[in-house]
Amino acid sequence: MNPALKRKIVEAAVPLFASQGYYKTTTAQIAESAGVTQPYLYLFFDTKERLYLAALDAAERRITDAVSASAAFPDDLLQGIEAEYRNDLRLILQSFAIAEPEIRTRTSSAFNAVYAAVTERFERQGSAVPDRAAQRLIGQAYIRLIARV
């Protein structure tokens, strides 16, 4: 299977899931956005849930990579939320409301990974209370996200 095409499908899924939610987004919409047929999408992901989990993984990875690479942390990360990471954060945040057990478990894992990356970054900067600083930054990010919905 073509890994680049699989990534393209996942990348097409993230903004759709983020804007419409898990239940309202169809695999037909994702396939169309990715420029593939729906049966072809199912060659890569046997269920919509598997595709959602891949999108959730991609969102987590992008955010944790951004935290690690951020040159002017935390200010540029908050600004990046407004542009690049908005869909990723929305996806993680709304995933807490999805009933499917595997998605709920993976959502907790994704959130914990983001929290750990932010906390570790504050530790590297010498923050006296890195866990509190991480909580504050993540809270600000989610408030900005919700305020722009």
User: For 100-127, how does the pLDDT look when each residue is reduced to its tens digit (9 = 90+)?
Assistant: 999 999 999 999 999 999 999 899 888 9
Question: For residue 69, with 0-12 CB atoms within 10 Å meaning exposed, 13-18 middle and 19 or more buried, which class applies?
Answer: exposed
DSSP-derived letter for residue 37 is -
Concatenating the DSSP letter of every residue in 47-87 gives SHHHHHHHHHHHHHHHHHHHHHH-TTTTHHHHHHHHHTSHH
Q: Are 92 and 61 in contact (CB under 8 A)?
A: no
pTM of the model: 0.92
Between 40 and 70, residue with greater pLDDT: 40
- Condensed to tens digits (0 to 9), the pLDDT of residues 59-112 reads 999 999 988 887 777 777 777 776 788 899 999 999 999 999 999 999 999 999
The pLDDT assigned to 149 comes to: 58
Domains and CATH numbers, the chain: 3-147 (1.10.357.10)
Q: Are 78 and 69 in contact (CB under 8 A)?
A: no
